[in-house]
Amino acid sequence: MRHLPRLLLITGFAALPALATADTLSIKLENDILSSGDDGHYTNGLEVIRTAEPDADHWSRRLAGLMPGWDQHSLDSVALRFGHQIYTPEQLETAQLIEDDRPYAGLMYAGLSLFADTQHEGWRGTQSLHLDLGIVGPAAGGKRIQRAIHHVTDSDEPKGWDHQLENEPFVNLGYQHRWWLQRSLGGLELEYGPGTGFALGNLYSYASASGGLRLGRNLERSFSIPSVAPAQGGSQLFRPGGEFGWYLFADLEGRYMAHNMLLDGNTFEDSHSVDRRPWVGDAKLGLALIWNRWQLAFANIWRSREFEGQREHDQFGSLTLSRAF
């Protein structure tokens, strides 16, 4: 079991040459220090994403053709994702079990994402399909990674990792569909509209509804609003070259959480858990910049309370740097 994270990474990187073209490489960091300055709950996430536009005979197009509501000609890009996340209670220096705060958990995963973007007269539709395989528990290395980082930064030593969730592999499927109306506003380009989505698996199961907007210049160079956990990675593809582009973005999302292992505890073993709140909301506000072969996006996220007894909402930041090749 302890070798599963290494196997996921080796398998994933071995699959990278199967992408038709290495269009974009992205690194995404999600951390509460980027926004609130706190250190607890969703405390850190790191994801490496490689995105490509598949050739006409690429295997990802044949895969898309097997999916309901998809066809191989509508597939615009495919991404391989590799990530690690850390979740803790707020009081890191307490060695005893904190029963009324969320469990310690480390999470490691590899994921595959398919993206489609269809332009219509005055609007466009986007859809994404995601499959994630990974593990929660000591095998993900959350304890070692957080303690090493806190040692280097001379931060408080996290002492409660003996109460983390047990090892449990997971499989999760996610889907999102958005409708973007396209307008102009004071010489700027504007896109806005609703979205829906869902996730099914032993890590997360939920249904979501959202509304978002993008306002700026040269929006056609980039395609989406950056996503944050628990949603799987959004499309990082952008068009290199051309004029400088930028946009402000905002998004409101509500989720009905039917299952969240990171709060509900392990499926097959006894572990620490808290009473999950079924309704959770996110508010996201950010800025994206696109120049030459680079794209930089920052988002600030406010999240409503996720479990009973949580004292206040969470706040964290997301920073994504992308380079087109």
The second-level CATH assignment, the architecture, of 4-14+26-324 is Beta Barrel (2.40)
Residues 6 or more apart whose CB falls under 8 angstroms from that of 270 comprise none
Per residue in 92-102, pLDDT tens?
889 999 999 99
| Cα separation, 72 vs 50, whole angstroms | 20
pLDDT digits (tens, 9 = 90+) for 175-226: 999 999 999 999 999 999 999 999 999 999 999 999 999 999 999 888 888 8
Mean pLDDT of 60-86: 91
251-289, pLDDT tens digit by residue?
999 999 999 999 999 999 999 999 999 999 999 999 999
SS3 77: strand
Residue 23 CB contacts under 8 Å (≥ 6 apart), including other chains: 51, 52, 53, 77, 237, 324, 325
So where are the chain's domains?
4-14+26-324
Q: Is 69 left (phi over 0), alpha (psi -120 to 50) or beta?
A: left
Q: Which helix (H) or strand (E) holds 21?
A: none
- DSSP three-state, residue 90: coil
Selection from 53, 110, 103 nearest residue 78 by Cα: 53
Would you tell me how many other CB atoms lie within 10 Å of the CB of residue 187? Answer: 6
